[in-house]
Amino acid sequence: MGDKPFYIGESLMYSPVLLAETASQAIGAVARIMQMSTAISLSVEIIQNDQNLQISCITIHAWNGPVYIFDLLSGGVAMVNGPRGLRALLECPTIMKIVFNCQDIAQWLWKSFKIRLGFAADAAIAYKMFENIEDSEKLNANEFSKKIENTEIPFWENIKEEITVKNNKDFWKQRPLLYHMHSYLSGYVILLIKGWDDVRGYLNDEQVYQIFQNTQQMLAKIYPALKNEGYERTENYSKFEFKSNLNNFTLDRISVEYVLNKILNQPGTEPLK
């Protein structure tokens, strides 16, 4: 099952924050997440001045569980690969990944590790649908959190000023992760999953379908374009079940493409394009 990650503090909502710095700790964290969760929120931080894109850390929150920070600068690719590493979780077709502006995250994961993000829902799309905002309008995760949860992501302004105003492109190279850094990371993923859950409760089934479709269309812009670099589409068909209560969305070994076709191609609807 792997080693236990280190406890480094509490999050904004008092969930424990655990740090994985080795492949063995990553295996332990992934096993726990996949055992307890059907949905997670996800964020990725990158080092922006490297000629070759480098992911600094991946942060994951399982609903009502801990926040896990995977320090990829310390643990490297060994934390990702293998049947029980991060790849298994991020590509898993039965665990929903709630992200904000999924296109960037999907591109970073693909370029760094050839990870194809599976079964993703973009909270930015959900919010724009909820507020009837033009899809082209720019929105960041902190604005989403303030408008939905009336709470700012901890240290958002400080960190964005450090990176953008002071042009500190090495910010996410700093080790060890300081208090304001892991407070930001844990607060981000907790407010993201909570905001998604709150917005989702106001949407009808057709709108939820559309979120999945729009997210998939965004991801489709990434993977086919990279086909020559080694990506191959895979299908994994199995049981599908959808209940009108949005909290009862259950999947069993299903690819996101199959989910979308099933939920969008019900009688009386247009086929998925």
What domain count does the chain have? 1
CATH of the domain at 63: 3.30.420.10
User: Residue 135's pLDDT is what?
Assistant: 66
- Domain assignment present for 84: yes
Tokens of 127: 């919010």
Beta bridge partners of 84: none
**Burial state string for 142-172 with b = 16 or more CB within 10 A and e = fewer than 16:** bebbbebbebebbbbeebeeebeeeebeebb
Contact 91, 236 (CB under 8 A): no
Rounded to 10 degrees, the C-alpha dihedral 218/220/224/230 comes to 90
User: Residue 241's pLDDT is what?
Assistant: 34
d(CA 183, CA 17): 9
Bridge-based pairing state of the strands 120-122 and 240-242: unpaired
- Domain assignment present for 252: no
User: Residue 83's pLDDT is what?
Assistant: 80
- Domain assignment present for 47: yes
Contact 100, 192 (CB under 8 A): yes
Range of the domain at 112: 6-207
pTM for the structure as a whole: 0.83
User: Residue 50's pLDDT is what?
Assistant: 57
d(CA 72, CA 70): 6
- Domain assignment present for 242: no
- Domain assignment present for 181: yes
Length of the chain: 273
User: Residue 53's pLDDT is what?
Assistant: 82
Q: Which residues of the chain have pLDDT under 70?
A: 1, 49-51, 135-136, 224-273
How far is the CA of 228 from the CAs of 84, 167, 231, in angstroms? 27, 34, 7
- Domain assignment present for 272: no
Contact 95, 37 (CB under 8 A): yes
- Domain assignment present for 222: no
- Domain assignment present for 249: no
In the 8-state DSSP scheme, what is residue 273? -
